[in-house]
């Protein structure tokens, strides 16, 4: 099974609610409001914690005398070594140090030992003296793929799909549907709002419990 926008839309549209009866004047308006609610809920859910399925690796070929490269579409994974915080940016299995003070950068060429970030670009220092293969582990912001396999950051077309492992699709879908309903209903005074809030909290806890295969303490934000 693949979790597509069409599948999510049909599931949400079949839920019990009351707000659309009086406040939506047309089918087109209904669809726009519903798709907007789905994408708001998906964005919240996707970025609420560092789900293991969001973790990706991007390989970057470093060219001689070229220092600047595009950042991956997400946050670089943090790591801790000997009590010191670092990040998962490596060359030939060797992690590079994050250079916080860019004033230390000098005109130096050689094998990169450091990296820093500036204006959404990734810089390696010293400037590579030859070709290297760097790997960057990151938590992607791309929520899925389109019908051509391209990365997408919101769902627009019926065939757009969410990039979730098959075994977690039902758990993710349940959390997404109930979160969508909170956005669709909007008002916490609506008779259905509190019920969907309880359903979402239960569905989200189940998703967290099984998403990574272990049960560590997680930082969750909404």
98-115 pLDDT, tens digit each: 998 877 788 899 999 999
The mean pLDDT of 146-164, rounded to a whole number, is 96
Q: How confident is the model at residue 217 (pLDDT cuts 50, 70, 90)?
A: low
Task: Residue 167: give the domain boundaries.
Answer: 5-47+143-211
The residue from 109, 125, 140 where one domain ends is: 140
Domain contains 10:
yes
Q: Give me the pLDDT at residue 70, please.
A: 95
- C-alpha 104/C-alpha 67 separation (Å) is 15
Q: Are residues 131 and 147 in the same domain?
A: no
Q: Are residues 154 and 105 in the same domain?
A: no
Q: Are residues 81 and 124 in the same domain?
A: yes
The residue from 106, 123, 140 where one domain ends is: 140
Q: Are residues 148 and 207 in the same domain?
A: yes
Domain contains 217:
no
Domain contains 218:
no
What secondary structure letter does DSSP report for 168? G
Q: Are residues 153 and 168 in the same domain?
A: yes
pTM for the model stands at: 0.85
Q: Give me the pLDDT at residue 147, please.
A: 95
Q: How confident is the model at residue 213 (pLDDT cuts 50, 70, 90)?
A: low
- What residues have CB less than 8 Å from 196, skipping those under 6 apart? 178, 181, 182, 185
According to DSSP, the residues that pair with 59 across neighbouring strands are 135
Q: How confident is the model at residue 221 (pLDDT cuts 50, 70, 90)?
A: low
Q: Are residues 126 and 155 in the same domain?
A: no
The mean pLDDT of 109-135, rounded to a whole number, is 95
pLDDT per position as a tens digit, 15-35: 876 444 445 555 566 688 899
Q: Give me the pLDDT at residue 81, please.
A: 82
Q: Are residues 33 and 84 in the same domain?
A: no
The residue from 93, 115, 140 where one domain ends is: 140
pLDDT per position as a tens digit, 161-206: 999 999 999 999 999 999 999 998 877 777 788 999 999 999 999 9
Q: Are residues 83 and 190 in the same domain?
A: no
Domain contains 160:
yes
Q: What is the mean pLDDT of the chain?
A: 89
Report the domain count for the chain. Answer: 2
Q: Are residues 43 and 59 in the same domain?
A: no
Domain contains 39:
yes
Q: How confident is the model at residue 83 (pLDDT cuts 50, 70, 90)?
A: confident
Domain contains 189:
yes
Q: Are residues 205 and 169 in the same domain?
A: yes
Q: Are residues 151 and 42 in the same domain?
A: yes
The mean pLDDT of 153-168, rounded to a whole number, is 96
Q: Are residues 60 and 118 in the same domain?
A: yes
- What residues have CB less than 8 Å from 95, skipping those under 6 apart? 79, 81, 86, 87, 88, 89
The mean pLDDT of 79-84, rounded to a whole number, is 86
Q: Give me the pLDDT at residue 82, please.
A: 81
pLDDT over 70 percentage in the chain: 89
- What residues have CB less than 8 Å from 11, skipping those under 6 apart? 173, 177
Domain contains 219:
no
Domain contains 107:
yes
Higher pLDDT, 17 or 216: 17
For the cut 80, the answer to whether the pLDDT of residue 54 exceeds it is yes
């Amino acid at each position: 099974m693949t979790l597509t926008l069409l599948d999510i839309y049909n599931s949400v549209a079949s839920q019990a609610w009351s707000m659309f009866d009086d406040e939506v004047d047309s089918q087109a308006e209904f669809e726009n409001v519903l798709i907007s609610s789905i994408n708001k809920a998906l964005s919240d859910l996707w970025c609420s914690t560092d789900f293991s399925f969001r973790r990706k690796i991007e390989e970057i070929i470093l060219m001689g005398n070229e220092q600047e490269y595009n950042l991956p579409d997400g946050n670089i994974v943090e790591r801790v070594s000997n009590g010191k915080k670092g990040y998962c940016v490596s060359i030939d299995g060797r992690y590079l140090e994050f250079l916080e003070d860019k004033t230390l950068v000098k005109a130096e060429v050689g094998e990169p030992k450091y990296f820093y970030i500036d204006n959404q670009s990734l810089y390696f220092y010293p400037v590579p003296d030859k070709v290297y293969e760097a790997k960057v582990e990151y938590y992607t912001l791309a929520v899925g793929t389109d019908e051509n396999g391209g990365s997408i950051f919101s769902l627009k077309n019926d065939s757009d799909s969410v990039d979730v492992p098959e075994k977690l699709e039902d758990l993710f879908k349940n959390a997404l549907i109930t979160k969508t309903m909170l956005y669709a209903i909007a008002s916490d005074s609506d008779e259905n709002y509190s019920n969907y809030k309880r359903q979402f909290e239960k569905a989200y806890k189940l998703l967290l419990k099984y998403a990574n295969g272990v049960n560590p303490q997680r930082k969750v934000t909404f």
